[in-house]
């Protein structure tokens, strides 16, 4: 469905001063600060999408009976804006995020937002908050588009009213130590998704299910949790908020778990597969058992492992830990393939390399 809406813009009376903004942009962290505006678009069953607006950033009023508060009817996206050397601001494959939001919506019985409105909502945010896109190295503005069912009704069915919002947060590295290798924890007690469940949707509930295992990972000194397939508990799926890749250096091969229906179809994942093919690597999307990882590292066949996602970009994984075992060495430097794929991807995103696949969209 192709549809456009015109956005009604109300500018904030109290935007942060240039000095306040500069102070935040100096050390933004991840997800800590928000820009001066947000987007809201309403939907109801009779009217469809309507009332598109840009407004000052602030609390949203919800009826206490709103569906999202009781049955978790929420989906979201994560996508960044990058400032290029000439000052222009670009984003990466927004139609792919827009289509994924539609698939998530379908799974959660929420309305599908037309992709045109999704892309336009990001453009509207930049029209008012462009100054929040820092030109510092590796800095970006992280958009968090999300949708909630907000009909006030306690019966269990898809809400007849929903709202789509976009907020934006200036972002530095997702992990406190930047691009340094991280340790991850193998969760064998918990799965993040079930067969036939919502694993392939980007919905809040999946993240809620990952928080306890994530706490366990942190208690073990690890920064992310790795989940196995929910049926056999044997094959790698993904991390709490990232996809995972193994590099078989000697045979110039990149391996990542196949999309199983319970893994998020990462846009970074798909882009890395393309970049790897372009440089003549063999890419394999298939089942990867946890034993293959352990044995591959021990035998030297697996030379590098990394995580990827919009927030994490490409982050080297130095060590895998689990109940009674440790694989890899956290002190080893990040792998060459990992870092060169990372450089190529970010060079495209920041306009330092030609955009040969047409992935960039100017905001
Ligand atoms: N897997 C999960 C569970 C995620 O939350 C994310 C982040 O969005 C990803 C994978 C990577 O997806 P993308 O590369 O589209 O950001
Ligand atoms: C993203 O990378 O956009 C995500 O949603 C992951 C989350 C851990 C921040």
How many other C-beta atoms are found inside a 10 Å radius of the C-beta of residue 93?
A: 20
Query: What is the pTM for the complete model shown?
Result: 0.96
Binding site membership of 243 for ligand 1 (Cβ less than 6 Å): yes
From 2, 39, 95, select the one nearest 360 (Cα to Cα).
95
User: Rounded to the nearest whole angstrom, what is the distance from the C-alpha of residue 70 to the centroid of ligand 1?
Assistant: 25
Q: Which CATH class is domain 182-350?
A: alpha beta
Model ipTM value: 0.98
- What is the C-alpha to C-alpha distance for residues 76 and 357, in angstroms, rounded to an integer? 25
Rounded to the nearest 10 degrees, the angle between the axes of helix 267-278 and helix 336-349 is: 110
Gap from CA of 71 to ligand 2 centroid (Å) = 22
Instruction: Note the ligand closest to the C-alpha atom of 269.
Output: 1
Query: In terms of DSSP H, where are the helices of 191-289?
Result: 204-219, 267-278
Centroid of ligand 1 to alpha carbon of 6 (angstroms):
30
Q: Are strands 282-286 and 253-257 parallel, antiparallel or unpaired?
A: parallel
Q: What is the pLDDT of residue 2?
A: 55
Report which of 258, 243, 225 is spatially closest to residue 309, judged by C-alpha positions: 243
Of 80, 103, 264, best ligand 1 pocket probe by most atoms within 8 Å of the beta carbon? 264
| pLDDT tens-digit map of 234-293 | 999 999 999 999 999 999 999 999 998 999 999 999 999 999 999 999 999 999 999 999
State which ligand 2 atom lies nearest to the alpha carbon of 31.
9
The predicted-structure confidence for 299-352, as pLDDT tens digits, reads as follows 999 999 999 999 999 999 999 999 999 999 898 899 999 999 999 999 999 999
Q: Please write the tens of the pLDDT for every residue from 141-155.
A: 999 999 999 999 999
- Ligand 2 geometric centre to CA of 13 (Å): 31
Torsion sign across C-alpha atoms 155, 157, 160, 161: positive
Same topology, domains 8-171 and 182-350? Answer is no
Domain spans, the chain: 8-171, 182-350
- For residue 310, the ligand 2 atom closest to its alpha carbon is 2
- To the question of domain 8-171 being in CATH 3.30.470.10, the answer is yes
């Amino acid at each position: 469905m192709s549809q456009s809406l015109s956005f009604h813009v109300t500018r904030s009376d109290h935007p942060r001063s240039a000095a306040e903004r500069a102070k935040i942009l100096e050390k933004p962290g991840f997800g800590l600060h928000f820009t001066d505006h947000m987007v809201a678009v309403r939907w109801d069953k009779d009217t469809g999408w309507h009332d598109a607006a840009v407004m000052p950033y602030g609390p949203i009023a919800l009826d206490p009976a709103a569906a999202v508060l009781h049955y978790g009817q929420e989906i979201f996206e994560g996508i960044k804006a990058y400032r290029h050397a000439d000052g222009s601001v670009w984003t990466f494959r927004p139609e792919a995020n827009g289509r994924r939001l539609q698939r998530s919506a379908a799974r959660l019985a929420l309305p599908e937002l037309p992709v045109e409105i999704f892309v336009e909502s990001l453009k509207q945010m930049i029209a008012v908050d462009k100054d929040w896109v820092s030109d510092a190295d590796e800095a970006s503005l992280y958009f968090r588009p999300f949708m909630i069912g907000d009909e006030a009704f306690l019966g269990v069915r898809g809400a007849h009213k929903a709202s789509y919002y976009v907020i934006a947060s200036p972002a530095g590295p997702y992990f406190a130590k930047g691009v340094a290798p991280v340790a991850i924890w193998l969760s064998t007690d918990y799965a993040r998704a079930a067969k036939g469940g919502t694993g392939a949707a980007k919905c809040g509930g999946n993240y809620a299910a990952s928080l306890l295992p994530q706490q366990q990972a942190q208690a073990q000194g690890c920064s992310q949790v790795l989940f196995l397939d929910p049926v056999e508990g044997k094959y790698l799926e993904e991390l709490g908020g990232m996809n995972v890749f193994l590099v078989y250096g000697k045979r110039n091969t990149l391996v990542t778990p196949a999309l199983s229906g319970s893994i998020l179809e990462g846009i970074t994942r798909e882009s890395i597969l393309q970049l790897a093919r372009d440089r003549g690597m063999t890419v394999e999307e298939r089942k990867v058992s946890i034993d293959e990882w352990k044995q591959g590292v021990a035998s030297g066949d697996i030379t590098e492992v990394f995580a990827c996602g919009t927030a994490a970009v490409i982050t080297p994984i130095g060590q895998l830990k689990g109940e009674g075992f440790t694989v890899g060495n956290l002190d080893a430097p990040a792998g060459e393939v990992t870092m060169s794929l990372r450089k190529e991807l970010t060079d495209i995103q920041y306009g330092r390399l030609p955009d040969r696949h047409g992935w960039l969209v100017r905001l």
